[in-house]
């Protein structure tokens, strides 16, 4: 199978390339922005900007992929508050450019659009864990753009008979994730304190919010299984099925360090709106694919801490495969 990953230079892309190449023995192709770095021998890499629509179709025709996974996105909630226009351009306009190019092909590849659990937004108490059929009430700009992407995918499936599935991926974590995301942020700060690179104070935002965290290596397994077993036109939650308060995440991280660390609230890390709890119902995903998470939260935290300790020490940080 030929699989094309759109926007593979981010956190998930490298793990997805590795999994498809080594576990699924797929012929993998991937795109990145011209200014991005993506060094791998496990995929053929091409430069592509989905905001330049005329460049997409020629690439698709040259590769002729059997399946396309759309990862390209502005994926940070905090950045979406600061740059709403950019988030709309990439997440909505970029998706339309890609889907228009795909429907211009003379065959029908399978398409997986990657969305977010943030789409559900203001979840009512009796709606937890949240199911795919629940109403979406986006609570931030990023979530609104991903909810729109999902609706566009459904419309294109029905109107143009395209083979499109959508994912609502909940918080995924692991080594190499940017420190703009909470678990990587906490782990980096702890590693810096251990290395004597900053005072023994960890700065945090809202600790009361509860989120559904899944190891990125489990997430990419779910994506690969959906390419094989997912149903056209359907949306699938991808998560652990269990929400954990950010405060508990922090305690688990601190428990894996021998340093004495003070915790303080940093107003700069607080969001204008934060949803109290987001937890996935993953029954549908498990029923259709047989997927289940393999990595425990504590093991993933240990891998993220190991990554940051090695990186700050100037060593080659492990992949923790």
pTM summary value:
0.92
Strand pairing of 2-6 and 67-70?
A: parallel
Residue the block writes with tokens 């179709």: 57
Left if phi > 0, otherwise alpha if psi is -120 to 50, otherwise beta: which for 314? left
Name the band, by pLDDT with cuts 50, 70 and 90, for residue 270: confident
Average pLDDT over residues 64-82: 94
Of residues 315 and 205, more confidence is placed in 205
d(CA 14, CA 138): 29
**DSSP characters for 143-197?**
HHHHHHHHHHHHHHHHHH--EEEEEEE--EE-TT--TTSHHHHHHHHHHHHHTTS
- Residue-level pLDDT at 271: 64
The structural domains of the chain, with segments of one domain joined by +, span 2-173+215-238
Worst-scoring range by mean pLDDT, 53-67, 234-248, 272-286?
A: 272-286
Q: What is the pLDDT of residue 274?
A: 64
Residue 53 binned pLDDT confidence (cut-offs 50, 70, 90): very high
pLDDT in tens, 114-171: 999 989 988 888 999 999 999 999 989 999 999 999 999 999 999 999 999 999 999 9
Q: List the end-to-end C-alpha distance of the chain, in Å, as a whole number.
A: 23
How many residues does the structure list for the chain?
Answer: 321
Pairing of strands 210-212, 262-265: unpaired
Give the per-residue pLDDT at 273. Answer: 55
Flag whether pLDDT at 106 surpasses 90. yes
Q: What is the mean pLDDT of residues 202-213?
A: 89
What architecture is the 2-173+215-238 domain classified under in CATH? 3-Layer(aba) Sandwich (3.40)
CA–CA gap between residue 127 and residue 116 (Å, rounded): 17
Q: Give the pLDDT score at 320.
A: 44
Which pLDDT does position 206 carry in this prediction?
Answer: 82
State the pLDDT at residue 75. 87
- pLDDT tens across 182-204, in order? 999 999 999 999 999 999 999 88
Alpha carbon 49 to its chain centroid, in Å, reads: 19
pLDDT at residue 78, as a whole number: 83
User: How many degrees, rounded to 5, is the angle at CA 151 between CA 221 and CA 90?
Assistant: 75
Residue 266: predicted pLDDT: 85
Tell me the average pLDDT across 166-181.
94
Query: Quick one: pLDDT at residue 277?
Result: 84
């Amino acid at each position: 199978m030929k699989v094309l990953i759109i926007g593979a230079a981010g956190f998930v892309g490298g793990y997805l390339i590795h999994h498809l190449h080594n576990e699924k023995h797929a012929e993998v192709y991937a795109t990145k922005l011209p200014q991005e770095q993506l060094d791998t021998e496990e995929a053929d890499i091409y430069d592509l900007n989905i905001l330049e629509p005329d460049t997409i179709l020629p690439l698709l025709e040259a590769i002729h992929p059997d399946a396309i996974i759309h990862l390209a996105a502005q994926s940070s909630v905090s950045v979406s508050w600061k740059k709403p226009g950019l988030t709309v351009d990439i997440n909505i306009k970029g998706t339309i450019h890609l889907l228009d190019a795909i429907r211009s092909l003379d065959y029908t590849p399978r398409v997986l659009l990657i969305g977010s659990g943030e789409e559900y937004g203001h979840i009512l108490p009796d709606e937890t864990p949240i199911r795919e059929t629940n109403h979406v009430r986006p609570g931030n700009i990023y979530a609104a753009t991903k909810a729109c992407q999902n609706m566009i995918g459904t419309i294109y499936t029905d109107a143009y008979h395209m083979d499109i599935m959508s994912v609502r991926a909940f918080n995924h974590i692991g080594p190499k994730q940017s420190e703009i995301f909470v678990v990587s942020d906490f782990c980096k700060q702890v590693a810096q304190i251990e290395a004597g690179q900053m005072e023994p104070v960890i700065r945090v935002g809202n600790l009361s919010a509860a989120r559904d965290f899944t190891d990125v290596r489990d997430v990419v397994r779910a994506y690969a299984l959906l390419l094989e077993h997912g149903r056209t036109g359907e949306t699938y939650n991808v998560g652990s099925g269990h929400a954990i308060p950010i405060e508990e995440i922090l305690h688990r991280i601190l428990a894996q360090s021998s340093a004495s660390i003070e915790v303080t609230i940093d107003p700069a890390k607080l969001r204008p709106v934060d949803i109290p709890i987001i937890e996935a119902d993953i029954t549908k995903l498990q029923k259709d694919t047989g997927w289940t998470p393999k990595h425990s939260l504590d093991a993933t935290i240990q891998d993220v801490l190991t990554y940051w300790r090695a990186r700050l020490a100037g060593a080659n940080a492990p992949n923790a495969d």
